[in-house]
Structure 1
């Protein structure tokens, strides 16, 4: 994925603020233990829920059950908003990005996503790849669906002194073979 353009939104920033580099926003996304996913219900109402994420190669991965509300919402409308941050007012970096959630279906890509979760977490979020799908011992009856979200537009909100809002814009073209679409050219 190409590095996005970065621009400071002076309407919402201190006069001494500088744009926050995408590398800092990506690092914040990568260390997030929880992300909030906002989807849209078929009747237009928003739905928000926390997920355990993995951010790798500028893409967010999360999983849900096939019977979950967010899965039904994503089937009707794959557009999502991903939010990472905290409740601190005067320090830290909050990041949000818009993107399209794409189901990961390739068996090899699913294995790599399971490996990413295993490497990222301390044993609480172990996913096993079996027969072209993922499962977890924590919920063996749940049919897991893995999603990949690539940012199309993002914002970073640096908090404290100086406060600044950076907008990140990504090119429309996609880099070669994200995990969700590997094997499809």
Structure 2
């Protein structure tokens, strides 16, 4: 589980004079409510791969799932380092987040059941999963579940403009 109190730093180079660093709790609120995230992974040949997906913040980590034969799952077999981003598609409003970390497979059935409940709570009954053999099972087949605890995260406020960095010790 990631540290509850990361080192927080405002980067003045990318912040307006009146800006202040955002509190990590504010970022967590955004992670809990954001509906779409962009996952960046690295292909075995070194090329980047980015794809949108849904995710849930639970117990100090961001969780997502994917089919075992999808590109992102294949990439994660070779390199577990990822970046997840979310935010507003607007220049002057909203809040953007970038979360860097290592994707760890979740296979414990009790944790998976809790996560399956979190998906339904956040996204509705269309995102109902059964838990079987250490994975989610749904209408689309089997999905592996991954957890990313933040190692470093960045928050980008837009009114006033600011860049906050959170550094976690793991």
Same fold, TM-score > 0.5, yes or no: yes
What residue is the counterpart of 1:37 in the other structure? 39
What residue is the counterpart of 2:96 in the other structure? 94
What residue is the counterpart of 1:70 in the other structure? 72
Q: For 2:59 and 2:133, how far apart are their aligned partners in 1?
A: 25
2:14 to 3, 12, 15: 12
**TM-score for the superposition, normalised by structure 1:** 0.87
Q: For 1:54 and 1:85, how far apart are their aligned partners in 2?
A: 15
Q: Structure 1: which 4+ aligned runs deviate by more than 6 Å?
A: none
CA contact (8 A) 1:51 1:62 kept: yes
- For the aligned residue pairs, the C-alpha RMSD in angstroms reads 1.1
Structure 1: gaps of 5 or more residues: 173-185
**Paired residues for 1:1-185 under 5 Å:** 1-137=3-139, 139=140, 142-160=141-159, 162-172=160-170
- Cα offset, 1:72, TM superposition: 0.5
Q: For 1:132 and 1:44, how far apart are their aligned partners in 2?
A: 29
What residue is the counterpart of 1:182 in the other structure? none
Q: For 1:53 and 1:6, how far apart are their aligned partners in 2?
A: 24
> 1:57-78: CA deviations, max 9, x gaps?
3210100000000001011000
CA contact (8 A) 2:58 2:115 kept: no
Aligned residues: 168
Q: For 1:165 and 1:58, how far apart are their aligned partners in 2?
A: 22
Q: For 1:38 and 1:132, how far apart are their aligned partners in 2?
A: 24
